[in-house]
Amino acid sequence: MSLDQPNTALDPRCPSGPLAERWTKHLSEIKLVAPANKRKHTIIVVGTGLAGGSAAATLAELGYNVINLCIQDSPRRAHSVAAQGGINAAKNYQNDGDSVWRLFYDTIKGGDFRSRESNVHRLAEVSTEIIDQCVAQGVPFAREYGGTLANRSFGGVQVSRTFYARGQTGQQLLLGCYSGLMRQVDAGRVTLLPRREMLELVLVDGKARGIVARNLITGELERYAGDAVLLATGGYATAYYLSTMAVNSNASAVWRCYKKGAFFGNPSLTQIHPTAVPQLGDYQSKLTLMSESLRNDGRVWVPMQPGDKRRPNDIPEAERDYYLERIYPSFGNLVPRDIASRQALYRVREGKGVGPTGVAVYLDFKEAIGRLGRQVVTDRYGNLFQMYEEIIGDDPYETPMMIYPAPHYTMGGLWVDYNLMSTIPGLHVLGEANFSDHGANRLGASALMQGLADGYFVAPNTVGHYIASVDLPKVGTDHPAFAAAEREVNARVTKLLSIQGNRTVREFWWDIGRVMWDQVGMSRSEAGLKEAIDTIQGLKARFWEDVRVPGSADDFNKSLELAGRVADFFELGELMARDALARRESCGGHFREECQTPEGEALRDDANFAHVAAWEYRGDDTEPARHIEPLDFEFVELKTRSYK
C-alpha cells in the first residue's frame, strides 16, 4: 500500500526473509533523501525524552530542519530521567552466552507473545549500537577496574546484559541525548521550544503536516508546519492518578492524534510495577518506585492471619506467609513484575495487607542482612533504603519495608508499522508513546533501550524513507487547516474556563484514577470493566458541567494545563476499559479474572487473541471500532510462561 494513504488495513510493512537480515535488508531497500534536499525538509518532533531527543538530534545531524518541543522547561527533564535500573544490550561482554537472538527471545517471551517478531528482533540488533553511541557521547557507565564496561543481571533474566550508571541510568542516558540535541541547537539545526504543549495535529490532504501547540508561559497558540510529525510523548499511566510517572506525564498529544484518525494499539496493556512505596494517604500525588533489584535479596511476605495488626517484628516466622516462595518455588521472589504485582493484590484482597492502610506487603531484608552482613546490604541498596526512610520514616534495616504495586509503564500506545508510522501518513510515533515492542509486559531495563533504538537508529531512516516516497507540496502555517485546528483548541480551552463549577480538576483526576486502579488495574473482570465504562462516562459528563478551572487562557496556568489532560484521561480511560473488556484472555500485565487456570495463573488464548487490537475513533457519540493486526510467529514457538 502506498505510504501516503491512511494505513487503516494495519499493514505492518515488515520486510520478509530471514529474521536476522530483515532490518539490514530494509535499510538497503528504503528510499533516501539526497543530502542537499534534507535541509529543505522540516520535521516536527514532540517530546525530548530518550526517543524524541535522540530522534531530533539525529535527524538534525543528517541535515534536516528540526523543530523540537517539550512541555518541560528544559529537554533534560523529560521523564526518561527517572529510570533507575539500566539499559539492556546484547553485547555479550560477560561471555555468558548472550546474543541478539537471546535478547530478542527474552523480550518476545517476557511480552507474553503479543509483539511483532520483526520489530523486536530489530530492537535487539540495534541495542549494541546504542551502547556504543552512548559511550561515545561520554555517558559515564559503570566500569570494571580494567576499564571495561560493567554489567549486571536485571529483572530475572539469566544473563548479565544490563548497563548502568549508579542508580541514574535514565538520567545519564538522557543527558547524553540532551547534550547531542543541544549541540544541534547550537549549530542552528534544531529549533528548541520548551514549555510548549501540543494540543492539535494538523492534517493536510490526509497527511500529518503540522501541529498547534500552546506556549505554556504566555498561553498563546502557536502553529508549526513540517513534512512529518514525530510523537515521542511518553506513557499515560497518570490516568491512574497515582503512578510512578511524573505528574505532568499525559496522553493529550497521542489522544489528539487518535481523534484525528491514528489507531490506538492495545490501550489497556499497562505495567504495574510490584515494588513501589505504598500509598499512605489520600493527599498523595505520586508513587515512588523502589528499584526492582530489591527483590534479589528481599523476601516478600504477609501475615498468615487476615487482619493481623501486630508490628512486623512481633509476628513469628511460623505465622508469616512468604507467598511468592510458596507459590513459585523455582523463581521465588524473582517472578516477573506482573505476577509479583498480582499476588500482592490477592493478599490485600484476602485481608492480609499490612501497614496503616492495609494495602501493602512486606519486603524483608532480615535474612539478607544475616546472610550477607549489613555492609553488603548497604552497598547494594543503601540509597534505596535511605530513600524509603525519607518517605515512610521507618528504618528498613530494622523494620521490613512496605511495598505495593504501582502503575509504571504503558505498553499500549498509538499503533505503528515497522517504520514507526501510525495509520496517519507522516505521523510517526516513538518510544513509550507507540504501542511498542514490549507486547503485554515489558522486561526491566528495556524501556530505555527501545526509546533510544527508535530515536537514534529507526526513525531517522524510516522518516527519510517516508519523505522520499511521498509527494509533499509546501504547506505553510497560513494553510486553512491550521486555522481550523487552532479554532478547535480555542473552543476547548474556552469551554474549560467557562464552566466555573464546584469541583477542582484534581478532584476529578482523583476520581478517575480510583476507578482505573480498582477496575482497570492489576486484575480485571467483565462486570468491573463494564461498570468502569459507565462510571467514567458519568464522571466525564460531570466534569464538563462542574469543573472549576481558575485563571485565564493567556497566562501561565497550571490548572488549565491539567484540566485539558484530565479531560483526555476520561476518554482514554474509557478506551482502556473497552480494550480490556474485549481482550478476553489473560496475557502479561493484562489479567482477566475469567481467564485463569484453576491455580489462579494467567490463561492466554492464542487461538483468539494472538493479535494487536487497534482502536479507531469514530466520533464522540459513536463507539470506537476495534481492528486487528494478527501476529504471525514464524520464528518462535508460543509457550506458556511458567515460573513455578
Partner 1 sequence: MHFTLRIWRQSGPQAAGRLERYEIDDINPDMSILEMLDLLNEQLTRDGVEPVAFDNDCREGICGTCGLVIDGVAHGKKHLATTCELRMRGFVDGTTITIEPWRAQAFSVVKDLVVDRSPFDRIIAAGGYVSANVGSAPDANEILIPKVDADLAMDAAVCIGCAACVAACPNASASLFTAAKIAQFSYLPQGQTERERRVVRMVEQMDAEGFGDCSNHGECEAVCPKGISITNIGVMRREYVRALTGQLR
Q: Just list the catalytic residues.
A: 337
Q: How far is the CB of 196 from partner 1 (least distance, A)?
A: 13
Q: How far is the CB of 300 from partner 1 (least distance, A)?
A: 22
First to last CA, the chain: 46
Q: Which of 212, 208, 222, 213 is nearest to 261 (CA)?
A: 208
Query: Which residues lie closer than 8 Å to 16 by C-beta, 6 or more apart?
Result: 22
133 or 586: whose CB is closer to partner 1?
133
73 or 534: whose CB is closer to partner 1?
73
Q: How far is the CB of 548 from partner 1 (least distance, A)?
A: 6
**In angstroms, rounded to a whole number, what is the distance separating the alpha carbons of residues 105 and 118?**
12
Give the relative orientation of helices 459-469 and 50-62 as an angle to the nearest 10 degrees.
60
**In angstroms, rounded to a whole number, what is the distance separating the alpha carbons of residues 268 and 581?**
9
**56 neighbors 190 (Cβ within 8 angstroms):** yes
56 or 516: whose CB is closer to partner 1?
56
Q: What share of the chain is helix, strand, coil (3-state, %, to 5)?
A: 40, 15, 40
**468 neighbors 32 (Cβ within 8 angstroms):** yes
Whole-angstrom CA distances from 263 to 427, 605, 623 are 11, 23, 14
224 or 388: whose CB is closer to partner 1?
388
**295 neighbors 364 (Cβ within 8 angstroms):** no
38 or 342: whose CB is closer to partner 1?
38
246 or 359: whose CB is closer to partner 1?
246
12 or 407: whose CB is closer to partner 1?
407
192 or 602: whose CB is closer to partner 1?
192
Q: How far is the CB of 286 from partner 1 (least distance, A)?
A: 4
Question: Which amino acid is it at 469?
Answer: S
**In angstroms, rounded to a whole number, what is the distance separating the alpha carbons of residues 175 and 137?**
9
170 or 521: whose CB is closer to partner 1?
170
Phi, psi (deg, nearest 5) at residue 367:
-65, -40
Q: How far is the CB of 197 from partner 1 (least distance, A)?
A: 13
Q: How far is the CB of 446 from partner 1 (least distance, A)?
A: 18
**In angstroms, rounded to a whole number, what is the distance separating the alpha carbons of residues 190 and 211?**
17
Strand order in the sheet with 361-364: 270-276, 401-410, 361-364, 299-303, 320-321
**Torsion from C-alpha of 207, 438, 294, 310, nearest 10 degrees:** 90
Q: How far is the CB of 166 from partner 1 (least distance, A)?
A: 6
Q: How far is the CB of 215 from partner 1 (least distance, A)?
A: 11
Joined grid coordinates for residue 455: 530515536
Q: How far is the CB of 247 from partner 1 (least distance, A)?
A: 6
Give the sign of the dihedral formed by CA 413, CA 415, CA 417, CA 419. Answer: negative
266 or 462: whose CB is closer to partner 1?
462
**Kind of pairing between the strands at 503-504 and 42-46:** unpaired
Q: How far is the CB of 72 from partner 1 (least distance, A)?
A: 7
Whole-angstrom CA distances from 461 to 55, 313, 420 are 10, 58, 10
Which string of DSSP letters, residue by residue, matches 99-159?
A: -HHHHHHHHHHHTTS-S-HHHHHHHHHHHHHHHHHHHHHT----B-TTSSBP-B--TT-SS
Residue 247 CA to its chain's centroid (Å): 14
